[in-house]
Amino acid sequence: MKGTVYSTKGKELRTVELDDAVFGLPINEDIIWYAINNELANRRLGTACTKDRGEVHGSNAKPYKQKGTGRARRGDKKSPLLIGGGVVFGPKPRDFSYSMPKKAKRLALKTILSLKAQSDMLKLIEDFSVESGKTKDLAGILKNFGETQRTVIVLDDNEEGRLEKNRMIKRAGRNIPAVHFLSYNSLSAHTLFYGRRVLLVEGIAGKLSGFYKEEVRS
C-alpha cells in the first residue's frame, strides 16, 4: 500500500511504499483484544489483601453462653458477621500476569498498525528534531497534523545517530499529557491501539517491516 510522507509543517512531500505484511493486513479484532488484555493483566500489581477471621486481632473467647440469652449464637468477636471481624473470601496477593505466544503478540501489533494505516490515523513524518527541547516547539509541530488528541510517536531508541534527537523530542513532550513515545522494537498494543493519531518517523516504516517480518522456515 502507499503512504504519504509529511513535513513538520503538515505538507505532503512524497509517496512511499508500505509493506502490506505490516500495514495491509485484514483486521483481526480478537487478537487485538487478547494482546491488550495481556498487557493490562501483566501491569496489575495484585497487592490487594484482606484478613480472614484467623488473621484478625481479637480474643478467641465466646462472648456469652450458647443458650438462654435470646440472642444469636456467637463463637468469637472475629466472626465475619460482626463489625471488625474477618472478611469472607476477600482478595489475597496474587500474580495476574501470564505469557502470550510471541507470534500472536506480533500479529496483534501488525494488525493494529494496519488498522491505523487503513483508518488514515497513521502519518509518516520526515526525520525531525526539537533542538530546543521546549514543549511549545513540539506542540507547534503536532498542531500542524490536526487538533490536540492522544498522539503516539514511534521512534528508534537504538540508532546511535538519533539518540540525542530522540532525547530532546521526549523532553519536549514530557509536559504534553496526550503525547506518548514508543520504540519501534518494543511497541505497546494498548498505547498504540488507543492512540487517535500515530506518527512514524519516515525511516521507522522500513524498520517495522524488517523487525516484524515472519520467520521463514526451511
**Burial category of 41 from C-beta neighbours within 10 Å (exposed 0-12, middle 13-18, buried 19 and up):** middle
C-alpha count within 13 angstroms, C-beta hemisphere, residue 194: 9
* Pairing status of strand 12-17 against strand 2-6: antiparallel
pLDDT tens, 51-95? Answer: 999 999 988 999 999 999 999 999 999 999 999 999 999 999 999
Name every residue whose Cβ is closer than 8 Å to that of residue 25 and which is 6 or more positions away in sequence: 110, 111, 114
**Burial category of 147 from C-beta neighbours within 10 Å (exposed 0-12, middle 13-18, buried 19 and up):** exposed
**Residue 53 three-state SS:** coil
Residue given cell 463463637 in the structure block: 75
* pLDDT band for position 216 (cuts 50, 70, 90): very low
* pLDDT band for position 44 (cuts 50, 70, 90): very high
Question: Grid coordinates representing 197?
Answer: 493519531
Residue from 26, 23, 29, 15 nearest 213 by CA: 23
3-state secondary structure 169-200: HHHHHCCCCCEEEEECCCCCHHHHHCCCEEEE
Q: Which domains does the chain have, with CATH numbers?
A: 2-27+102-211 (3.40.1370.10)
Q: What is the pLDDT of residue 214?
A: 57
For residues 202 and 37, the model is more confident at 37
* pLDDT band for position 40 (cuts 50, 70, 90): very high
Mean pLDDT of 195-205: 89
Residues 156/167, Cβ–Cβ less than 8 Å = no
pLDDT tens, 139-149? Answer: 999 998 887 78
Q: What is the pLDDT of residue 218?
A: 35
Helices (H), the chain: 20-23, 29-43, 102-118, 135-143, 163-173, 189-193, 204-211
**Residue 210 three-state SS:** helix
Q: Quote the DSSP letter at residue 25.
A: P
Size of the chain in residues: 218
